[in-house]
Amino acid sequence: MMRVVWVVSSVVLVVGLQGCTKKPKGAEAGESGSKDVTTPASMVVTTPMGARPVSQGAKVISEKAGLARVTKYLGHLRKKEYVQAVAMFGPKMKAAMGAEKLETLWKQLGAQLGVYQSFEMVKSDSSQSQNQNQNLRRFSIKMIFAKGPLNLLLVLMPGGQFTGMFIRPSKPKYPPWTPPPYVQADQVREIPFLVGKAPLELPGILTVPTARGPKRYPVVVLVHGSGPQDKDETIGPNKVFKDIAWGLAAQGIAVLRYDKVTKAHPAQAVAMLSKGFTIDTETTNDALKAAAQLRKHELVQPKRVFYLGHSQGAIAAPRAGKRDPNLAGLILLGGPTRGFGDLGLSQLEYIISLGGPQAQATKAMLPAYKKGLALVKSKTLTPKTPAKLLPFGIPASFWLDLRNYKPHLVAKTLKMPMLVLQGEADYQVTMVDFAAWKKTLAAKKNAVCKSYPRLGHHFIDLKKKMAVPMDYLKVSGHVSKTVIDDIAAFIKRQR
């Protein structure tokens, strides 16, 4: 869902904000289903740098000396010496990850993977930070736990301090995506599409019908949930946006999906985190750029451009509608009405209620979360409040931007038609949020609200009443045909 909606069980990103440039091959943020459901946001989210020629600055630390530092650091973690471990961080990383957060992370990993046993070095190479002009040493290692391995990238400055850390589980091997049963491959064709301009252009795909019909089609812009998501909104074995794109194209509707800016340009995302990071810089702005570009496309009906937002994308939908009143309609899937902070608290409490090791690890982070949430709601919050004091390490600019924003109340003021859909088995965005949408939009004649039993946050049939965190990684399926049909029918009604 959003940056505060994580299953404490999968991808974990932790790094200092110093010296980031390009992403390394094979280490893309969110590769195993980023977003939205897997990142404990108690960790500062950015991306490690990619290799660049070593040039100016202090001499890069040697592989032997660096490996000794890595060994010492992991030794501190094994002994639960968190203060000593943090003492090995560089200034930026210390600011982002204190001893308390490091302890929480280590406990979460232990709850999920069992006792830490050893590590193996996979490779070591050199790189140069772009903004700090420092020669850095990167170590890719495999950490061995009782229940399985974990991939770890550590980045060291010349003096031996750690300036970056990227952690994630070994990527599960899922079967290749196959079209949903309600689509035949020959019903659609896909056209490369770039959203925006260099240096922040976003690779995308415009999916269009192949069946004979009008030269131009109504089109839907798909807008992601939180985190560095790819154009397919991949999560575990499923590709939510690809299902939607193919499903709608088979019914005569064009669909645009694209890589999120935090996925396509992770280095620039670091700058976003430190310079006024908001839901607009991460989500809304790019969606509106895409809509504007589509109006000029030869295959698109310019007056029938729709916005479909999922989760965080649904939060941003009313903002998009207010800024671009020419949108033909808004479609919201799993959209919250409660504030980010309160929603995150309810999710953590739900995970705790399930019991087990994951619940214990989550419970350990609850006091710090509540303390940060109180700060978010206080009058003392300013743009200069350190992110490390706030829930999940999200910068103060993000919280301040959304402090007085009520998406459902803004939606009520808009003239455009709306479709609000909710999975009744969704524990991240719940029927509490859906009830608020229904109540607020009840008098709006061109708004439709509908919920679906057994569907989770990604509108896949879970075949049970309520989801649990691991469903995102274990349940394989496709977006419900009923959902696809309802979206298509809504679009076709808007002439």
Which CATH number fits the domain 12-169, given the four candidates 3.40.30.10, 3.10.450.590, 2.60.40.10, 3.30.413.10?
3.10.450.590
> Residue 197: CA atoms inside 13 Å, Cβ hemisphere, count?
2
Catalogue the E-assigned strands of 280-375: 300-310, 329-333
Q: Based on the number of CB atoms within 10 Å of its own CB, is 435 exposed (0-12), middle (13-18) or buried (19 or more)?
A: middle
Q: Based on the number of CB atoms within 10 Å of its own CB, is 256 exposed (0-12), middle (13-18) or buried (19 or more)?
A: buried
What CA–CA distance (Å, rounded) separates 37 from 428?
9
- The topology under which CATH files domain 185-337+406-493 is Rossmann fold (3.40.50)
418-423 and 238-239 beta bridge pairing: unpaired
What are the tokens at 38? 């897997």
What CA–CA distance (Å, rounded) separates 369 from 371?
5
Closest CA to 301 of 316, 286, 291: 291
Residue 262: partners with Cβ closer than 8 Å, 6 or more residues away: 29, 45, 227, 228, 229, 269, 272, 282
What CA–CA distance (Å, rounded) separates 166 from 176?
26
**What ranges do the domains of the chain cover?**
12-169, 185-337+406-493
- Rounded to 10 degrees, the C-alpha dihedral 283/285/286/291 comes to 120
Is the preceding peptide bond at 199 cis, omega within 30 degrees of 0?
A: yes
How is residue 280 annotated by DSSP? Answer: I
Residue-by-residue pLDDT tens, the chain, 495 positions: 433 333 322 223 333 333 333 333 333 323 333 333 333 333 332 322 232 333 345 789 999 999 999 999 999 999 999 999 999 999 888 888 889 888 888 888 887 778 888 888 888 887 655 444 468 999 989 898 887 788 899 999 999 999 888 886 666 778 999 999 999 999 999 999 999 998 889 999 999 999 777 789 999 999 999 888 999 999 989 999 999 999 999 999 999 999 999 889 877 766 665 678 899 999 999 999 999 999 999 999 999 999 999 999 999 999 999 999 999 999 999 999 999 899 999 999 999 999 877 787 788 788 889 999 999 999 999 999 988 889 887 889 999 999 999 999 999 999 999 999 999 999 999 999 999 999 999 999 999 999 999 999 999 999 999 999 889 888 999 999 999 999 999 999 998
**Model confidence, pTM:** 0.76
